[in-house]
Amino acid sequence: MDWIYVILGISVLVIVHEAGHYFAARASGMRVTRFSIGFGPAIFRYQPQGSPTVFQLCLIPLLAYVAVSGMNPSEEVDPNDPEIYPNKGLFARTATVFAGPFANYLAASIMIFFLAVLSWPESVPAEPMEISDLENDFPAKNAGLKPGDIVLEANGEKVRNIEDLSRITKPRAGKPTRYLIQRGEEKKTYTIVPISRNNRGFIGVSPKYTVIYRRLQVGDAVTKAVMLPFNMSVANLIGIATLIKERSTEGIAGPVGIAKIAKAHAEKGLADFVQVMIWISIALGMFNLLPLPALDGGRLVFLGFEAVTRKRANERIEAVIHTAGLLFFLGLLVLITWRDIAQFFPETDTRHEQTNARE
């Protein structure tokens, strides 16, 4: 059932994206011939009386697409047809393209608001101060501290959480400091010399965090609903820039990887599942706004060129660029999906197992 919820949840976010294009196109007087949910043979079709749009549900109810007349650059168009995309004004075309990503951001903001006023999850440092991770080649790990250790005292003062530990350690860079550590039932004192990092003492430990749920005031919820999508988009862009710099795809999750992440959150409860749906919706909106061929952002680049030069880009050239971009993204999607699927079947190093058995 978790997998079903995940697939439906992601599909709904894609439907929201396409609905943004649909409503903006119809509001601009464009003809939308098809709104399809899923792919494969259609198992249900409905065309409202007087509407040019056929709404259909396909055999595999994943993803969605909207067919706006004339929006495909390679499509033959009638220059006298007032209801097709190329014959509309610059503002109408821009609004139609931008409405898809905007719908994802709007959906994310709505989910954030309601989650914030009902039960917003926040990570806070656990008490007592339990070590979750240690940095390599830093004083704490070199002294023998381990994940799971609890810091009881530092320099003779009681430690309740990471704030206490940081406050005591900060002024003691280069000074031997005694730390009382509990490991299971055993208590032991370690003498550690904090190093100087950004003009403060530092021993290189990260605390364990715990999740609490609280209801935010309406004003705080509105602020979070506006600012969180922006902050998450900035963080995503920084992550993409880092991956490009490192020439790596390790940080990119395909459909399988995203579904796996979403399932892990779904198992934790509704609030965590909604949180990951918020993340996916923002990522979907931001990704489509990237100024790359075949994406909404790529179309907006050509519309921006038109706004600046007062003349449209060559339609044939635009069609070739978008087609090349689509082929590139399909290839990247296959590569990432193959990698994500392979992670479900990790290779077993039988030679290593046999060596361990002999030892």
Query: Which pLDDT belongs to residue 344?
Result: 57
Query: Which pLDDT belongs to residue 122?
Result: 85
Residue 267 has a CB neighbour count (10 Å cut-off) of 10
- Which residue in 282, 281, 284, 264 sits closest to 273, CA to CA? 264
Q: What are phi and psi of 123, to 5 degrees?
A: -90, 125
Give the residue extent of every domain in the chain: 2-118+252-342, 127-207
Query: Which pLDDT belongs to residue 250?
Result: 64
Amino acid at site 131: I
Amino acid at site 64: A
As assigned by CATH, the class of the 127-207 domain is: mainly beta
Helix ranges (H only) for 214-349 are 218-246, 255-266, 270-288, 296-309, 315-342
Extract the residue ranges of the chain whose pLDDT is less than 70: 1-3, 73-74, 248-257, 336-337, 339-359
Query: Which pLDDT belongs to residue 223?
Result: 96
Q: What are phi and psi of 255, to 5 degrees?
A: -55, -40
Query: Which pLDDT belongs to residue 248?
Result: 66
Query: Which pLDDT belongs to residue 171?
Result: 95
